[in-house]
Amino acid sequence: MQRQDPYELILDLVVRRYQPVEGTIRVDRERFVDKNAAFAVAFDDQTGTPHRALLGLFQDDDGLWHSTGGSSGAPQVARDTDVWTMCGGWGPPDTDGRAAVVGGWVADADAVTARLTDPAGHTLEDRIEEGVAIFLWGEDFNVRDARVELLDGEDRVTRSALLFQSD
């Protein structure tokens, strides 16, 4: 599936993949970097359960947008140690310019910035908008053992956890 308009493609993907209740689809956040885009979409499924999806797109040389990845789930009640209420991602980046993506809905309503740091000290940051942080990258970035931090308006860490936690 491909479209000229990335928003039309996102709506088509949500409807085809998840069959949400009509009128419940809401784009909470989108982020565009070069020829890549990631969208954080909220909706209710057919049972009325809230769902969240992080969906990625890539624009080809003809200007058409294509799906590159996606992750979805029901938002979780955050524990004090959680950074996310729902997150997902895909990657790695490829030689055609498709970015790797990690992001989701953060667990701290007062956080304004999210920071992702890999074991080598490389750092990505994103300003949280509508409760969502989205990281896109095209270079080497080792997400294995990477740490996510949420920061308040004074750059103080309010929550911190490994990106991939195993409990």
pLDDT in tens, the chain (167 residues): 888 999 999 999 999 999 999 999 999 999 999 999 999 999 999 999 999 999 999 999 999 999 999 999 999 998 988 999 999 999 889 888 999 999 999 999 999 999 999 999 999 999 999 999 999 999 889 998 999 999 999 999 999 999 987 55
What local confidence, expressed as pLDDT, does residue 6 receive? 96
Count Cβ atoms within 10 A of the Cβ of residue 7 and give its class: 0-12 exposed, 13-18 middle, 19 or more buried. middle
CA gap 84, 44 in Å, rounded = 19
Q: Whose CA is closest to 34, among 88, 99, 131? A: 99
Helix-, strand-, coil-residue percentages of the chain, each rounded to 5: 10, 50, 45
Cβ neighbours of residue 45 under 8 Å, at least 6 residues apart? 18, 19, 20, 21, 51
Q: Is residue 18 part of a domain?
A: yes
Q: Is residue 101 part of a domain?
A: yes
Domain residues for 114? 2-162
Q: Is residue 167 part of a domain?
A: no
What local confidence, expressed as pLDDT, does residue 95 receive? 86
Count of domains in the chain? 1
CA gap 145, 45 in Å, rounded = 33
Question: Are 20 and 37 in contact, with CB atoms under 8 Å apart?
Answer: no
CA gap 161, 112 in Å, rounded = 17
What local confidence, expressed as pLDDT, does residue 71 receive? 94
Q: Residue 11 sits in a domain of what CATH number?
A: 3.10.450.630
